Each structure stands twice: as structure tokens, then as C-alpha cells.
Amino acid sequence: MRATAVALALVLGFALRAEVSGMGAQASVPSITDDLGHPMPLPLQTPRRIVSMAPNVTEILFALGLGDRVVGVTRFCDWPPATKDIPKIGGLVDPNVEVVRSLDPDLVIAFRGNPLRLVDRLRRLDLPVFVLDIGRGLGALFPLIERIGRVTRTEERAAALAAGLRARVETVYAGLRDVAARPDVLVLLYGQGLWTCGGESYVNDLITRAGGTNVAAALPKKWVLYKRERIIRDDPDVVFILARTAADFRAGRDAFARLPGLGEVKAVKTARVFELDENAASRFGPRLVDVLARMAALLHPERFGGRT
């Protein structure tokens, strides 16, 4: 009788110890909180099926060597070129939830521009959704890369990518050290009239970091329709046109110069109307460093040997 009681106590003791141990292991599972404040358990290994709901996220995933694990992207995800063969889930504001679900992802990376109601619907379907924000300045790019590295368990690759980009940015800063003149800059979107970037745009931050002064920096908006009369008054030293192709740039440059009074602004008279790659500049991803370097070289050719 006593032996039976002892045996039963031992069994219960082992069971209790195992339960407590299991609870401790469960409590110690690391998690990460997205930019909407939702915690998500970190996967034990790199997810095998990732859906990206934003072009810059797609670009970063490929830069981390995860292109072969991306199973769904938006129709706007066109960089790198390999994305053209990946199934499309819809657009940024109209992703098809059922298509996302059918891809059976073990990670969905969204961004705050995706409709919240659709993000919530993905969560209700028990899909692991991680939402990221887009920063207002280049400095936010590096932690963004590191957070994507964290949630995909590619921390070392992300740290290396961020470090390499930071080093390139520092090279630009070194070339601009003690620069005296800061040219006045106007940025325009090709084919969109006279839309320019305001003070809340990360493009404004790029202009500043590249050694220029955005003529529209005082406007508390990301993008704003600028008046022709105001451009004449501002008389920018340099105009950057964001264009997809060289032909689009030439068309935009010529159309700008033909508008009444704009042919007389300094940028046009001194042939300092330059092209910027719209695809690279419109994505909050690694190629922003290329845009920064080109801006700096065009604004201050004397510091960079005329390299563009």
C-alpha cells in the first residue's frame, strides 16, 4: 500500500515538473512587436513561404537573399526583375485576401499603407502578419532592414546589409564635409504636373543629407502640388525629375522648360535639370542610398569628381 502511494506521488511529481517546465519553455518563446503594436512569436527558423504586401519590403527580402522564399507580392513589386514571375496578390490598397490565404504563407509582411481592415482580416484567418511603417528619413531604413531580418530570422545578413549601406552613406558625408553652398532644389514627379516633395517626405531628408535645400521643405506634407509662380519666385538652382526612363525624363525636362516663366529659372538656364530613378527613389529600400549618392554628386560635382 505504502509502495503504491510512493509510486503515485513520484508519477504526479514528474507530471507536475514536466508541466511547469513546459509552461516555462512556452513563456520564454521570444516575440517581436510590429509597428501597430501587435506582438508576434518569432519563428524558430526562416519562414519558407513569405508574402510581401509592399514593394520596399519585397526589395529588402531579396537583398537578404530570401527571394526564393517569397511566394506572393503586389502588382507594384517590380524590383528586382525576378519579382515578375512571383504570383501577384493585388495592389497596395486592394490586396486580395483570398489569394494571400491560398498561398499558404507562414509569414505576411505588410506596411501601414495597406488598409487596416484587410490586415485585420488576415489576422482573423490566423495568418502570421507583421506590419511595418515607412520612415520619414533615411536613418529609419537601417532599423527597418534589421527588423525584417529579425522576423525572418536572418539577423546576421540584415546586420551586414545595414552596415554596408551605412558605410556608403558615411562615404557621401565624408565627401560633403564642410561644404559651404547648399543649392536650392526642386523635385518633380514626371507626368504628375508640378507635384513636389514637402517637408514630411523622406525625399526631403535625402536632399538635405545630399547637401541641398528643398525649396518646399516648409510645407508640412509629403507631396504637394506646387504653383508655377512659386517656382519662379524660388528660382531653384537644381531640378530633379523622378522618371522611369530616360525618354520620360527628357519629355519631362522639355515640358517643364516650356511652361511660361520656367525657362528662366536658374536650373534651366544652367542646364542643371537632372534625372533621378523614380523606381529607386519611390521605394523606402536599399536603393535609396544610390539615390543619395547620385544627388550628392549632382549637387556638388566638385566634391565627387563629376561622378553621377
User: Average pLDDT of each block of 10 consecutive residues along the chain (308 residues)?
Assistant: 40 38 54 93 95 97 98 97 96 95 97 92 95 92 97 98 98 94 95 91 97 96 94 97 96 96 96 97 96 97 78
CB atoms within 10 A of CB 295: 26
pLDDT at position 308 is 60
Q: Where are the domains of the chain?
A: 31-165, 180-299
What cell was used for 118? Answer: 484587410
Provide the CA 234 distance to its chain's centre, in angstroms. 30
pLDDT at position 59 is 98
Closest CA to 197 of 296, 285, 278, 298: 278
How many residues make up the chain in this entry? 308
Eight-class DSSP state of 73:
B
Angle value at C-alpha 78, between 76 and 81, nearest 5 degrees? 165
Q: What is the DSSP string of 211-277?
A: T-EETTTTS-SSEEEPPHHHHHHH--SEEEEEESSHHHHHHHHHHHHHSTTGGGSHHHHTT-EEEEE
pLDDT at position 172 is 97
pLDDT at position 219 is 93
**Fold agreement between 31-165 and 180-299:** yes
What is the spatial distance between Cα 256 and Cα 193, in angstroms, rounded to a whole number? 9
Top CATH class, 31-165: alpha beta
Fold of 180-299: Rossmann fold (3.40.50)
